[in-house]
Amino acid sequence: MFKTIYVSMDIYADLKTQNPKPFSVTILRHQEVHAKNVSLFKTLKFILSKDFRVKEETLAYTAMFKHLKQHNQTFDLDHLARDFSKLRYIWMTSYAEGKKLITKIWEEA
Ligand SMILES: [Zn+2]
């Protein structure tokens, strides 16, 4: 179940081209990490546990950032830290905590 991977239309269009941008590929990598061994239990745990969300996003962003760094790309860490504190990530961290977390993930990727 839940084997479908969702990406936005522009990312999807880019992935279908001969030479997709490194960023589009990394979005796919990120989503693949989330889709791995997915179950209803894991989905509920993701919704209910902040710690589990942090763990899962750390894995997914590590895979994504490794690829971006290999291609000498940058990433808007500040923007993501803000998103972490919003509904999109179910208020996973405060902005300050998110900034610390994502900076650490980027540095260690
Ligand atoms: Zn994610």
Q: What is the pLDDT along the chain (109 residues), one digit of tens a residue?
A: 456 788 899 999 999 999 999 999 999 999 999 888 788 998 899 999 999 999 999 999 999 999 999 999 999 999 999 999 999 999 999 999 999 999 999 999 9
What separation in Å is there between the alpha carbon of 56 and the centre of ligand 1? 7
Q: What is the DSSP letter of 50?
A: H
pTM above 0.85, yes or no: yes
**What was the pLDDT predicted at 3?**
65
Half-sphere exposure of 35 (CA within 13 A, CB side): 13
What separation in Å is there between the alpha carbon of 74 and the centre of ligand 1? 18
Distance CA 37, CA 42 (A): 8
Which of these, 68, 79, 73, lies nearest to 102 by C-alpha position? 79
What separation in Å is there between the alpha carbon of 19 and the centre of ligand 1? 24
CB atoms within 10 A of CB 3: 6
Give every CB contact of residue 45 below 8 A, 6+ residues apart in sequence: 52
